[in-house]
A and B are shown apart, each in its own frame.
Chain A
Amino acid sequence: GAVVSQHPSRVICKSGTSVKIECRSLDFQATTMFWYRQFPKKSLMLMATSNEGSKATYEQGVEKDKFLINHASLTLSTLTVTSAHPEDSSFYICSARSYSYEQYFGPGTRLTVT
């Protein structure tokens, strides 16, 4: 149980375009979903926290208008990187929690902006 999927696993897009990443909790209802960014050989940096039906809470320094987060249902959250630039290239990981403290992580999405 407690499986989280992400789609796509890898995406390459051109500079200036937008790309959407989906995060789904497959076998539980996620009251809260988290989006992280991980640079090579670096730790996870929390970007934002989203609760179902509410606006996401962004961490300091994360551009809300660039990283759009939608948590429309208890099993789906999306991260849209708008007007992507090469510096947005990274590994994006989502996680989800239900009614316990434990977070379950997705397998990650490798974004490359050319």
Chain B
Amino acid sequence: AQSVTQPDIHITVSEGASLELRCNYSYGATPYLFWYVQSPGQGLQLLLKYFSGDTLVQGIKGFEAEFKRSQSSFNLRKPSVHWSDAAEYFCAVGGGSGGSNYKLTFGKGTLLTVNP
């Protein structure tokens, strides 16, 4: 069974500081990995995804993530956080071969607070 762990429930950073949100996954085959962001009362917006190829992927809003198979991790990073980045961030994993009807399994999320 696939699973995702986001160890940090809540992270607070100062505006302009760097950010790293952790994500560890468990999946028996080649994983497809995603990071989504959710603002209060809103749906989810895709930040970036990894399917294959270069393990460092670039996303929208200046975010990037690195897939490390040996560590089963897909951590999200941003070099300089903006106040508008405050939101809930979800990591998700899916089957790389389209199994299970393309279902995604989400982590419990990390709430990011940005101090001025």
- B-binding residues in A (CB < 8 A): 4, 6, 32, 34, 41-44, 46, 49, 51, 57, 91, 93, 95, 97, 101-108, 110
* B44–A93 CB distance below 8 A: yes
* B90–A43 CB distance below 8 A: yes
* A42–B49 CB distance below 8 A: no
Instruction: Please give, as numbers and ranges, the residues of chain A lying within 8 Å of B106 by CB-CB distance.
Output: 43-44
Residue count of chain B within 8 Å CB distance of chain A: 24
* A49–B45 CB distance below 8 A: no
Instruction: Please give, as numbers and ranges, the residues of chain B lying within 8 Å of A42 by CB-CB distance.
Output: 108-109
How distant is the Cα of A107 from the Cα of B36 in the complex, in angstroms? 13
* B107–A97 CB distance below 8 A: no
* B102–A101 CB distance below 8 A: yes
Given A32-B101, A43-B90, A46-B103, does the pair A105, B44 have CB atoms closer than 8 Å?
Answer: yes
* B104–A103 CB distance below 8 A: yes
The count of A-to-B residue pairs whose CB atoms sit within 8 angstroms is: 52
* B98–A108 CB distance below 8 A: no
How distant is the Cα of A46 from the Cα of B111 in the complex, in angstroms? 20
Minimum Cβ distance to chain B for residue A93 (Å): 6
Known A-B contacts: A43-B108, A44-B44, A46-B104. Give 7 more (CB < 8 A).
Answer: A4-B43, A44-B106, A46-B105, A93-B44, A97-B102, A101-B102, A105-B45
B41, B94, B105 — most chain A CB neighbours (10 Å): B41
- A-binding residues in B (CB < 8 A): 32, 34, 36, 41-46, 49, 51, 90, 94, 98, 101-109, 111
Minimum Cβ distance to chain B for residue A11 (Å): 14
For B90, give the chain A residue with the smallest CB separation. Answer: A43
Instruction: Please give, as numbers and ranges, the residues of chain A lying within 8 Å of B42 by CB-CB distance.
Output: 107-108
Minimum Cβ distance to chain B for residue A95 (Å): 8
* B43–A49 CB distance below 8 A: no
* A34–B103 CB distance below 8 A: yes
Supply 25 A–B pairs (Cβ within 8 Å), ascending by A: A6-B43, A34-B103, A34-B104, A43-B106, A43-B109, A44-B44, A44-B90, A44-B106, A49-B101, A49-B103, A51-B101, A57-B101, A91-B41, A93-B44, A95-B44, A101-B32, A101-B94, A101-B102, A102-B49, A103-B104, A104-B46, A105-B36, A105-B43, A105-B44, A108-B41
